[in-house]
Amino acid sequence: MSDVFKSRVAILGMGYIGLPTAVVIATRGIDVIGVDINPATVAALSRGEVPFVEPDLAVAVSGAVAMGRLTATTETPEAEAFIIAVPTPFNEDRTADLSYVKAAAEQIAPRLKSGNIVVLESTSPPGTTQKVGDWIGALRPDLRMPRDGETGADVFIAHCPERVLPGRIMIEMITNDRVVGGLTPRCAEKAASIYRLFAQGEILLTDAASAEMAKLVENAYRDVNIAFANEISLISESLHIDVWEVIRLANRHPRVNILSPGPGVGGHCIPVDPWFIVSAAPQLSRLIRTAREVNDHRPHHVAGQVVENAKRFRSPTIACLGLTFKANVDDVRESPAIDVVGLIAKALPDVEILVSDPYVSVMPGLLSKYDNLHLEGAHQAVERADIVVLLVEHEPFKAMRHTRLAGKVIYDTRGAWH
Ligand SMILES: NC(=O)c1ccc[n+]([C@@H]2O[C@H](COP(=O)([O-])OP(=O)(O)OC[C@H]3O[C@@H](n4cnc5c(N)ncnc54)[C@H](O)[C@@H]3O)[C@@H](O)[C@H]2O)c1
């Protein structure tokens, strides 16, 4: 009979991953304590409010808080299991910044008791779960940390990467298969007992480094395939061939499935995680590095095209539709749309640029330095614009009537109006 976890869980990091995880566990009747270093996040959660937009999350959080199953605090408490879901951005040199994970491990260490479980959910380079054990072990010499090939550890440490899609997190958190990689097989089995509470997908047990690498490879796979589509777009454009038509036709081949080109790759997974592979094996990661470079160049290409078009007008107005990193979410992290808007604003300081996004009500910090940028409702922006640049295919933009666009120069980076 497999273990099923029954005690109290503390989750460190109440963001896009930690909070939905907390809620799905709390709704299975387990007491969950959400820990975050941001007091505003803790205050919002304590009122039963969610500090960001994710479908179906708000109602689940307010329910779990009202039932007393989910509480929030800035102080790491004692618990039987700890889940780390803090950010793992990259440094200037594109190596992983593990300072948040280390801080979380050090917060957990003084609270840890024999028999506790620690799961790292943050996307991490191979070897990080072992480092979590080392960091905790350095502060708790009284506890035996798990080591490969050894038995008899006092605590159980594992990696369980997250692969949910923003906008569908509450569904995919339940339905996706989960990979659980332990520092030892017993660690994997213990950590899996938490995911068995709510996961309907299969739970696949492995070692920690394989789990870490599998997550990175998933995102590098996406990145390389998007880079292929973006390169096809660039080549087609130079040959005056319609890339959307080319992809539509090629995808009728039974074993071809080309992804959609776009203005670049955003969010805080796909543009970041492949670099963790590159920095782990720089000489061997040629394709993965090139894909990153191809995708990183896209905003420059799109902005360049718009700037060229603008030169055809005496005093043009440009509407840029969309700022988030993908459609129908409010997440602007690493958003290529923001890069495109910034590059256009910088290249055309005398041109008025109207920016519209139904999910963004305040100009993102990176863009606030440009005086020629103004947030505007989509219909007004399009009405006033000579050039309309579609950067994110939010539903309201897709549904925009073609008659509104008549007579404008259209730059549709997503193929949404095709
Ligand atoms: N967002 C996604 O779609 C997604 C998908 C898969 C994997 N991931 C990975 O999950 C991890 C978390 O991502 P996210 O999107 O939830 O990040 P996020 O920025 O939304 O949330 C992270 C939270 O951690 C808090 N935090 C930072 N240091 C802390 C500490 N020491 N103790 C307690 N709280 C702390 C922050 O205040 C923040 O609220 C990252 O490694 C990310 O790569 C994210």
> Across the 418 residues of the chain, what is the mean pLDDT of every consecutive 10-residue run?
79 97 96 98 97 92 97 98 96 95 98 98 97 98 90 95 93 98 97 96 98 98 98 97 97 98 94 95 97 98 97 96 94 95 98 97 95 96 97 95 89 93
In a domain, 146, yes or no: yes
How much is the pLDDT for 53? 86
DSSP code at position 406: T
Q: Whose CA is nearest to atom 18 of ligand 1?
A: 15
How much is the pLDDT for 147? 87
3-state secondary structure of 196: coil
Secondary structure E strands in 253-408: 317-321, 352-356, 373-375, 387-390
Write the pLDDT tens digit of every residue in 68-103.
999 999 999 999 999 999 999 999 999 999 999 999
Out of 190, 269, 320, 326, pick the active-site residue: 269
Kindly state the tokens that stand for 288. 């993965």
Number of C-beta neighbours around residue 138 at 10 A = 12
Ligand 1 near 104 CB (within 6 A): yes
Cβ(336)–Cβ(264) below 8 Å: yes
In a domain, 207, yes or no: no
Clarify whether residues 59 and 27 are in a common domain.
yes
Clarify whether residues 114 and 223 are in a common domain.
no
Clarify whether residues 97 and 196 are in a common domain.
yes
- Residue among 33, 54, 86, 136 to mutate when testing ligand 1 (max atoms within 8 A of CB): 86
Out of 160, 187, 215, 326, pick the active-site residue: 215
Clarify whether residues 18 and 158 are in a common domain.
yes
Clarify whether residues 243 and 105 are in a common domain.
no
Clarify whether residues 188 and 223 are in a common domain.
no
Ligand 1 near 392 CB (within 6 A): no
- Residue among 11, 16, 135, 330 to mutate when testing ligand 1 (max atoms within 8 A of CB): 16
Kindly state the tokens that stand for 80. 């039987």
Clarify whether residues 53 and 178 are in a common domain.
yes
Q: How far is the CA of 138 from the centre of ligand 1 (A)?
A: 24
In a domain, 110, yes or no: yes
Estimate to the nearest angstrom the gap between the alpha carbon of 139 and the chain centroid. Answer: 31
Which residues have CB under 8 Å from 321's CB, separation 6+?
356, 357, 378, 381, 382, 388, 389, 390, 391, 392, 394, 397
Domain termination site, one of 175, 201, 227: 201
In a domain, 63, yes or no: yes
Q: How far is the CA of 170 from the centre of ligand 1 (A)?
A: 16
Q: How far is the CA of 85 from the centre of ligand 1 (A)?
A: 5
Cβ(186)–Cβ(156) below 8 Å: yes
Clarify whether residues 47 and 188 are in a common domain.
yes
Ligand 1 near 16 CB (within 6 A): yes
How much is the pLDDT for 2? 61
3-state secondary structure of 185: helix
In a domain, 31, yes or no: yes
pTM of the model: 0.91
User: Which range marks the domain in which residue 86 is found?
Assistant: 9-201
Q: How far is the CA of 334 from the centre of ligand 1 (A)?
A: 14
Clarify whether residues 157 and 306 are in a common domain.
no
Quote the Cα angle for 172-177-181, to 5°.
Answer: 125
Clarify whether residues 251 and 378 are in a common domain.
yes
Q: Whose CA is nearest to atom 35 of ligand 1?
A: 13
Q: Whose CA is nearest to atom 24 of ligand 1?
A: 13
Strands 156-159 and 178-182, by their bridges, are antiparallel
Q: How far is the CA of 338 from the centre of ligand 1 (A)?
A: 21
Cβ(11)–Cβ(38) below 8 Å: no
Which residues have CB under 8 Å from 286's CB, separation 6+?
none
Mark whether 269 is an active-site residue: yes
Cβ(299)–Cβ(353) below 8 Å: no
3-state secondary structure of 12: strand
Kindly state the tokens that stand for 4. 């099923």
**Structural domains counted in the chain:** 2
CA–CA separation, 405 and 248 (whole Å) = 24
Clarify whether residues 158 and 306 are in a common domain.
no
Domain harbouring 263, CATH code: 3.40.50.720
CA–CA separation, 70 and 66 (whole Å) = 8
Cβ(56)–Cβ(25) below 8 Å: no
- For residue 230, which of 160, 297, 131, 163 has the smallest C-alpha distance? 297
Clarify whether residues 271 and 159 are in a common domain.
no
Mark whether 187 is an active-site residue: no
